[in-house]
Amino acid sequence: MLELRVIPVRGMGDIKPGDALVDKMLGALRRQRVRLIAGDILVVTHKIVSKAAGRVVPLEQVKASRRARRWAAQHGLRAQVVELALSESRRVVRQGRGVLITETRHGFVCANSGVDLSNVDGGKSAALLPLDPDRAAAKLHRAIKRKLGLFIPIIISDSFGRPWRRGLTEVAIGVTGMRALKDFRGKRDPYGYRLKGTLEAVADELACAAGLMSEKLLGAPVCVVRGYSYQRGRGRARDLIRPRSEDLFR
């Protein structure tokens, strides 16, 4: 029966700078007796990608600017975290009620430029977003192809908030091996109506499906998604960034 399956991968252990992430992932898959097959997609939470790439900063090494210290003091935040959020951003989109919404250097709009203390080392260090998540995804993809001879699209995910709706959902910040958007424009529905604006952010939806099983507190930073008929192609997470010219909320 045609169905989607999301299989969480546990037991990867702690990831350290310089670790070969692909070996850790494939080792955990083997121990869990999950054999990747053609058609599978791997969704990888960005935290382990950042850790392996050394994108982790001990807060005590961060010198907070006056601007960061003032904002932090006003809202009971840690000035070093605010400093990192500002230095990882190319602009502040909104700042209010203790929340700092920035546009990262990649072009993602999110809280604190994605700088995050959770699942690092107990609050002493912050993880930053990978420098180039699309490239990190492509690197994992190539390594898996080399080791297993399989074409496996990779999605690197993070949890972002949204305007108007409460709660975080997972989004794709790195994509390779598949189209990030599925384009229904010009297709006809079963009633013959020609769809107009229908572009589906399938990479984000796949990240969400994996997010349900990655269990922030239990350590399943990778999920295998099986049974989704993705569109092969040169996708990148940057395709998901709405160009300034189309955006009503800049």
Residues 110-129 close enough to bind a second copy by CB under 8 A: 111, 117-123
Host H or E run for residue 158: strand 154-160
* Binding test (CB under 8 A) with a second copy, winner from 135, 187, 232, 234: 187
DSSP for 11-33, please give it: ------TT--HHHHHHHHHHHTT
Between 202 and 222, CB nearer to a second copy = 202
166 near a second copy, judged by CB under 8 A: yes
Between 142 and 238, CB nearer to a second copy = 238
Window of 63-71, 129-137, 149-157, 183-191 that interacts with a second copy by CB under 8 A: 183-191
Window of 3-11, 18-26, 57-65, 139-147 that interacts with a second copy by CB under 8 A: 3-11
Closest CA to 49 of 142, 177, 139: 139
CA dihedral 91, 198, 46, 110 (to 10 degrees): 30
Residues 203-232, interacting with a second copy (CB under 8 A): 204-206, 208-209, 211-213, 216-219, 228
Cα separation, 203 vs 153, in Å, equals 10
Beta-strand runs (E) in 26-136: 41-45, 56-58, 89-96, 99-104, 109-111, 125-127
246 near a second copy, judged by CB under 8 A: yes
Residues 26-55, interacting with a second copy (CB under 8 A): 32, 34
Window of 56-64, 130-138, 149-157, 177-185 that interacts with a second copy by CB under 8 A: 177-185
Between 1 and 38, CB nearer to a second copy = 1
* Binding test (CB under 8 A) with a second copy, winner from 135, 198, 232, 233: 198
* Alpha-carbon distances, residue 65 vs 20, 68, 70, 139 (angstroms): 35, 5, 9, 35
State the binding string over 142-161 for a second copy (x if CB under 8 A, else -). -----------------x--
What residues pair up with 199 in beta bridges, in sequence order?
183
Window of 23-31, 107-115, 129-137, 149-157 that interacts with a second copy by CB under 8 A: 107-115
* Binding test (CB under 8 A) with a second copy, winner from 72, 101, 115, 152: 101
Instruction: Write the single-letter amino acid at 64.
Output: A
CA dihedral 51, 55, 58, 64 (to 10 degrees): -150
154 three-state secondary structure: strand
DSSP state of 194: B
Please report how close the Cβ of residue 32 comes to a second copy at its closest, in angstroms.
8
Please report how close the Cβ of residue 240 comes to a second copy at its closest, in angstroms.
5
